[in-house]
Amino acid sequence: MRAIEASKMKRRGTAVLWVVAAAVLAACGAAPDAARQNEDLRRPNILLIVADDMGFSDAGAFGGEMATPNINGLAAEGVMFTEFHVAPNCGPTRGSLLTGVDYHRAGMGGNPEVAADNQKGVPAYQGFLRDDVVTLAELLQEAGYHTSMAGKWHLGHDARNLPGGRGFERSFALLNGAASHWADQAALIPGSKTRYTKDDQPVDELPVDFYSTTHHTNQVIESIDEFTADDRPFFSYLSYTAPHNPLHAPDEAIAKYRGRYDGGWDALAAERTARLRELGLLGESQKPHPRPEWVLAWDQLTTEQRAARSRDMEVYAGMIDYMDQSIGRVLQHLRDIYQYDNTVIVFMSDNGPSKTAILDYIALGGEAAEFFDQFDNSLENRGRPGSSTDIGPGWAYASATPLRLFKGYVAQGGIRVPLIVKPAGSLGQAQHVDTVVHVTDLMPTILELAGVQQPTQWNGVDVAPIQGQSLVELLDGDRDPEWMERDLGWEAYGMDAYRRGPWKVLRLPPPYGNGDWQLYNLDKDPGEVQDVAAQHPDLVQELAAGWTAYAESNEVIHPETPVAYARPVPKGKY
Ligand SMILES: [Ca+2]
């Protein structure tokens, strides 16, 4: 506790200094360079690392079997948030992450590619950031930070909504939701074109030895080196595209896991459940969510199917392992240039693991059969250039253990993911925080650590005030902030959820739910196994009313026809 108290006092003291400095600067009318330089010596750098579609229990610190020593190391030096919540999809989570507001309010309520007719043209579902939000990068840049990003963007394609238009001084961005991780730029979705930009200019060709994770890591390291030419702090957003499908990884990374998953997804889920209990992340009386009945049991697969599926999980593990090694490369670089201790490092996943099979992308575009003919998905080639594979719902079930369902769903498996925050300096010992926190909390946290306030206007437009809460009190060791009493709401593809304290209602169509509100006490039942709606009809009504208010204030509109993840799956397919 002494270490926490000391760091708390240090940070609080520093925060006071910033406020005084800001007041002095405001009184002078302009920021004198000398004053800003003095301030910059104290302001922390920010490194925000986001994994794409990584499940709750994939990382070692969260119960996984994959080698993630660097992610585990951050958890050992910082705060591991075990009840972190996001939107169930990539773009929506990124919208909230960079604006501090609900994803509908940010314009990122869903993918425009799959919007229903009645959602088209509606600001909440436009699929790019609205004009009346301001990003974390814009505010930090305005406050004198250097800013860079590399990796997945997914927040718009027009000049205003490319990284440079949204506050990033340096960027290398994949504008799409996903694409091949290799130089070939093969599309994931039939009919879509892969688009990369560097500093907002189109990149037509990638280096022949391009691999996404390596390249994005290099880009961020280069930008940090460029920024150290002066004393200004930096904000770097390392937005990995791993382990999103198509599954691609370097051969050596895949080889480390050869044979590791031959026991299948049911065995893996059981193994992870046991480790989660050992780590204290799942109580003895808490049950993991069982494999959905529409997902095949491992022993129902043919020998050939098992061989292929084992390889897919080896590639997925290789992607995460290699991403962790790459994170290690950035951390070592920060140590080498004496910036590690003065850098706040955030690691998170943007949503739960993906159940989506490559063939399911047929529903999203073009001539599927011809499109898939271009890939070589032989056992030898899976994970290499020219292949296009996925983990499917079986492995996604194991990856989300002990939670229910996956990416795309407002069940806990879609919206509860890992978050680690290593403050500047070190807490000296690992801290687990089980306070329910939300992706909108990260922007106010980072702004507070940087001594920056959100203005009421940006570019002459009134901006949506941040809805999240700063987590600085929690980082400082306070476990009972007043705002803990708040409610949280979700909507995705017409599927809804609302949470108050331990109670959560959610409404999913069959076979994912029962089409009506289901109620769970997540303190007792984090896996959403026991629906207690029938025992508490009044509570269901109260929470449903809470959801309606959430939906109205965030401009939620349900699709008039089932879209994307809300569509039923044919039984026996998986
Ligand atoms: Ca994602």
CA of 37 to the centre of ligand 1 (A): 38
Amino acid letter, 525: D
Instruction: Give the pLDDT confidence score for residue 20 in this predicted structure.
Output: 35
Helix (H) or strand (E) holding 174: strand 170-174
User: Rounded mean pLDDT of 158-181?
Assistant: 96
Please name the residues in contact with 28: beta carbons below 8 A apart, sequence gap of 6 or more: none
266: its two tokens: 């049911």
Spatial neighbors of 405 by CB under 8 A, at least 6 apart, are 289, 292, 352, 355, 411, 412, 413, 414, 508, 512
Cα 14 to Cα 10, 17, 171, 300, 448: the distances in Å are: 6, 5, 30, 60, 11
Give pLDDT, residue 26: 38
In this structure, the chain runs to a length of 574
**CB-based contact 59:316 (threshold 8 Å):** no
The structure tokens listed for 513 are 């739910």
Is residue 219 scored above 60 in pLDDT? yes
Whether the pLDDT of residue 244 is over 50: the answer is yes
DSSP letters, 490-535, are: EEETTEEEEEETTEEEEE--TTTS-SSEEEEETTT-TT--S--GGG
Average pLDDT over residues 49-67: 98
Give the residue-averaged pLDDT of 264-271: 98
Please check whether residue 217 is in contact with residue 282, taking contact to mean a CB–CB distance below 8 angstroms: no
Q: Is the pLDDT of residue 7 over 70?
A: no
Residue 327 C-alpha to ligand 1 middle, in angstroms?
18
Instruction: Show Cβ contacts of residue 17 under 8 Å, excluding neighbours closer than 6 positions.
Output: 42
**CA dist., res. 535 & res. 26, Å (int):** 57
Query: Would you state the pLDDT for residue 97?
Result: 98
Ligand 1 center to residue 97 CA distance, Å? 13
94 CA distance to ligand 1 centroid (A)? 9
35, pLDDT greater than 60: no
SS3 category, 399 = helix
Peptide bond preceding 562 in cis form (omega within 30 of 0): no
d(CA 272, CA 243): 19
Of 500, 492, 468, 513, give the one whose Cα is nearest residue 556: 492
Q: Is residue 264 over pLDDT 70?
A: yes
Give CA–CA dist 176/452, Å, rounded. 31
Q: Which helix (H) or strand (E) holds 196?
A: strand 196-198
The alpha carbon of 43 and the centre of ligand 1 are apart by a number of angstroms equal to: 30
Which one has a higher pLDDT value, 354 or 429? 354
Query: How many whole angstroms from 354 Cα to the centroid of ligand 1?
Result: 8
Non-local CB neighbours of 412 within 8 Å, separated by 6+ positions: 289, 403, 404, 405, 522, 526, 527, 528
Give yes or no for residue 214 having a pLDDT over 80. yes
- pLDDT for 372: 80
Once rounded to an integer, what is the mean pLDDT over residues 232-247? 98
Ligand 1 (single-atom ion) residues, CB below 5 Å: 52-53, 90, 350-351
Instruction: Evaluate if residue 364 carries a pLDDT over 70.
Output: no
> How many beta carbons lie within 10 A of that of residue 123, not counting itself?
14
- At residue 481, the pLDDT reads 86
Strand ranges in 327-467 using DSSP code E only, listed in sequence order = 343-349, 416-422, 431-433, 437-438, 457-458, 461-462
In the predicted structure, residue 536 carries a pLDDT above the cut 90 = yes
Distance 265 CA to ligand 1 centre (A): 21
Instruction: Enter the DSSP assignment of 25.
Output: H
Q: Are 235 and 145 in contact (CB under 8 A)?
A: yes
Amino acid, single-letter form, for residue 495? M
Give the 3-state secondary structure of residue 308: helix
CB contact at 8 A, 493 and 110: yes
Any idea which residues carry the catalytic annotation?
A: 90, 154
pLDDT of residue 366: 52
Q: What are phi and psi of 295, to 5 degrees?
A: -100, 130
Tell me which amino acid residue 199 is: D
**Averaged over 157-171, what is the pLDDT?**
96
Using the Cα atoms of residue 223, residue 131, residue 88 and residue 98 in order, give the sign of their dihedral: positive
| Rounded Cα–Cα distance for residues 70 and 65 (Å) | 14
Å from CA of 52 to ligand 1 middle: 4
Q: Is the pLDDT of residue 201 over 70?
A: yes
Mean of pLDDT over the chain: 91
Q: Per-residue pLDDT averaged across 166-187, rounded?
A: 96
| Ranges 172-181, 351-360, 382-391: which has the least confidence | 351-360
State yes or no: pLDDT of 3 exceeds 70. no
pLDDT in tens, 492-535: 999 999 999 999 999 999 999 999 999 999 999 999 999 999 99
User: Quick one: pLDDT band at residue 42, thresholds 50, 70, 90?
Assistant: confident
What is the pLDDT at residue 5? 38
**Comparison of pLDDT for 323 and 2, the residue scoring more:** 323
C-alpha 417 to ligand 1 mean position (Å): 11
| C-alpha–C-alpha distance, residues 454 and 68, integer Å | 35
Check whether 41 has a pLDDT greater than 70: no
Residue 151 bridge partners (DSSP) = 173, 239
Instruction: Give the pLDDT of residue 392.
Output: 95
Terminal C-alpha separation, the chain: 49
Q: What is the pLDDT of residues 305-329, one digit of tens each?
A: 999 999 999 999 999 999 999 999 9
